[in-house]
Amino acid sequence: MENTVYLYVFDSMSDWEIGYLTAELNSGRYFRKGLAPAQIVTVGIEKAPVTTMGGLKITPDMKVDECSITSVDALILPGGNTWTEAIHRPILEVAEMCLQEGIVVGAICGASIGLAQAGLLDSRWHTSNDLAYLKMICQSYTGEKYYKLESAVTDGKLITASGVAPLEFSVHVLRALDVFSPETLDAWYHLNKTHEPQYYYELMNSVQ
């Protein structure tokens, strides 16, 4: 069994915010027994190469208008400084369709601003980088009562996270996709969070 994950890529995207997640999905090294590594399909506005904030060049596998939500398990939206621009509207429409169909949508940092502008956070529990900033930049946003001051929040199939919480974001997405056992996910998180060697051995034991 293989999960298919759409990863939206665009110029100046915050590449480090999805690094933990893409590494584990692509390698599948700690997945539950019997699960194949996920297929990560990069999706762009066009098929022309994009350059991330870290200077990495990525050529999208497909354009947004080629996305098929009938064959995808998750859509991942990285952060960046351009999410208030109209250029991202097509992928936000895909995100809305995914949520309607019960498909995981993970948005971190600036991507949560895009979701807010699209009205997708007005009635779902969520977080972002800062509530005051979210309200200031998104005049149409009315989801304040659903905002949680947490590093990452899951509401059904929607996952949002602060830009300083890529590890917690990864945990929420991995849990939603159910590719790690609970013991593996707990050990993996604590190893990366605390750097304590005991969690390495717990992680190794959990995948035996």
> Which member of 67, 98, 109, 138 is catalytic?
109
Question: Would you put residue 174 in left (φ > 0), alpha (ψ -120 to 50) or beta?
Answer: alpha
The token pair that represents 42 in the structure block: 């990069």
Find the length of the chain: 208
Residue 96 · residue 116 · CB < 8 Å: no
Task: Name the burial class of residue 3, with classes exposed (0-12), middle (13-18) and buried (19+) by CB atoms within 10 angstroms of its CB.
Answer: buried
| Other CB atoms within 10 A of residue 105 CB | 26
Q: What interhelical angle do 89-100 and 110-117 show, nearest 10?
A: 80
Active site residue 67: no
Residue 20 · residue 53 · CB < 8 Å: no
Residue 121 · residue 113 · CB < 8 Å: no
What residue type is 102 in one-letter code?
Answer: G
The residues that are catalytic are 109
